[in-house]
Amino acid sequence: MEEVGKRTCGKCTACCKTHAIPKINKPEGKWCGNCKIGKGCIIYLTRPKECKDFRCEWLKGFGRKDTRPDLIKIVLDYQTNGLLKKLFTLWEVSKKALSSPFAKNMINFSLTNKIPVCLIYCNGKKELFIPENLRLLKKVLKHLKQENIKLFVTKKAPR
Ligand code: SF4
Ligand code: SF4
């Protein structure tokens, strides 16, 4: 069994595409100009703090070793300090990755555990799935509208 906490990014550079890095004007869903895809960051030592701080769930030890984000084309993030108390976010690295069995299993896992799950597609589309019986605050609903995030209240993944 693999020791949790011993993972390294290796050849993965997936979050250098999915995540926005405002400090260097890098938008969400576009490869960073400093990224050598599959190799690493050309400004590694001086990269922004957001890059230094980000650790996806795979890197933290979640999931099997062969579900590294560059292999399944999904970056998985778990937050406990945002507008929602708990939130899984699945960021799509390449088209159709969010239609995969991995994504479907993650949505079902989250909803079963009463955790909202947000899908961010590489074309910019965003969807939030929340379990039934979870009431959202007005400020959350306002945020969803502002960000054009489509809301689904459901027991399980729709596809
Ligand atoms: S997605 Fe995870 S494993 Fe891949 S480069 Fe980013 S932090 Fe490392
Ligand atoms: S600055 Fe480096 S670590 Fe940060 S997104 Fe760009 S390539 Fe990745």
Ligand 2 site-directed mutation target among 9, 12, 13, 16, most atoms within 8 Å of CB:
16
Atom 5, ligand 2: which residue's CA is nearest? 16
Residues 6 or more apart whose CB falls under 8 angstroms from that of 61 comprise: 2, 4, 5, 7
Atom 2, ligand 1: which residue's CA is nearest? 56
Ligand index nearest the alpha carbon of residue 51: 2
Closest CA to 63 of 89, 95, 100, 102: 102
Whether the Cβ atoms of residue 90 and residue 120 lie closer than 8 Å to each other: yes
Show the ligand 2 pocket: residues with CB < 6 angstroms.
16, 21, 24, 26, 32, 34-35, 41, 43, 47-48, 51
> What are 59-108's pLDDT values in tens digits?
999 999 999 999 999 999 999 977 888 999 999 999 999 999 999 999 99
% of residues, the chain, pLDDT over 70? 96
Q: Which amino acid is at 155?
A: K
Q: Which residue has the tokens 């190799």?
A: 39
What ranges in the chain are assigned the alpha helix state H? 15-18, 49-53, 57-60, 69-72, 101-112, 138-146
Distance 16 CA to ligand 2 centre (A): 5
Residues 6 or more apart whose CB falls under 8 angstroms from that of 54 comprise: 15, 19
- Distance between CA atoms of 89 and 91, rounded to whole angstroms? 6
Confidence (pLDDT) at 137: 85
Q: Where are the domains of the chain?
A: 10-54, 55-159
- Distance between CA atoms of 56 and 62, rounded to whole angstroms? 9
pTM: 0.92
